[in-house]
């Protein structure tokens, strides 16, 4: 016999919804056995602006490399940082 699922209520705002789901049992509202994995390929991670002081020669070299690779220098810096952080975390 199938369990009858409850209807998800309408919420006035995100805070009300957050409070509801913090206390509700989602299995009373959804049949998780029918759930499918979803991929959101176009989502971009949140970013935060920072100010970073670099020696002029270093910034010039980074811009030179970026120009050779035909990418914006800030993107190249993010790639370099991500690669190095990954290496350090594997140690």
- pTM listed for this prediction: 0.52
**Residue 38 and residue 82: Cα distance in Å, rounded?**
25
How do residues 28-86 score in pLDDT, each as one tens digit?
999 999 999 988 888 888 889 999 999 999 999 999 999 999 999 999 999 999 999 99
Same domain, 91 and 52: yes
Q: Could you tell me the CATH number of the domain that includes residue 69?
A: 1.10.1220
Same domain, 87 and 61: yes
- pLDDT for the residue 47: 87
Domain for residue 43, yes or no? Answer: no
Same domain, 52 and 87: yes
Domain for residue 24, yes or no? Answer: yes
Burial (0-12, 13-18, 19+ Cβ within 10 Å), 65: middle
Q: Which domain holds residue 52?
A: 48-91
Same domain, 60 and 82: yes
Domain for residue 22, yes or no? Answer: yes
Domain for residue 41, yes or no? Answer: no
Closest CA to 47 of 77, 70, 17, 22: 77
Same domain, 88 and 53: yes
Same domain, 3 and 26: yes
Domain for residue 18, yes or no? Answer: yes
């Amino acid at each position: 016999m199938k369990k009858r699922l409850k209807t998800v209520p309408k919420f006035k705002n995100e805070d009300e919804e957050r409070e509801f789901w913090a206390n509700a049992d989602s299995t009373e509202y959804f049949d998780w056995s029918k759930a499918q994995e979803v991929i959101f390929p176009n989502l971009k991670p949140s970013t935060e602006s920072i100010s970073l002081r670099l020696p002029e020669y270093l910034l010039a070299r980074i811009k030179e490399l970026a120009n050779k690779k035909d990418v914006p220098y800030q993107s190249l810096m993010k790639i370099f940082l991500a690669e190095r952080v990954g290496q350090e975390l594997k140690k």
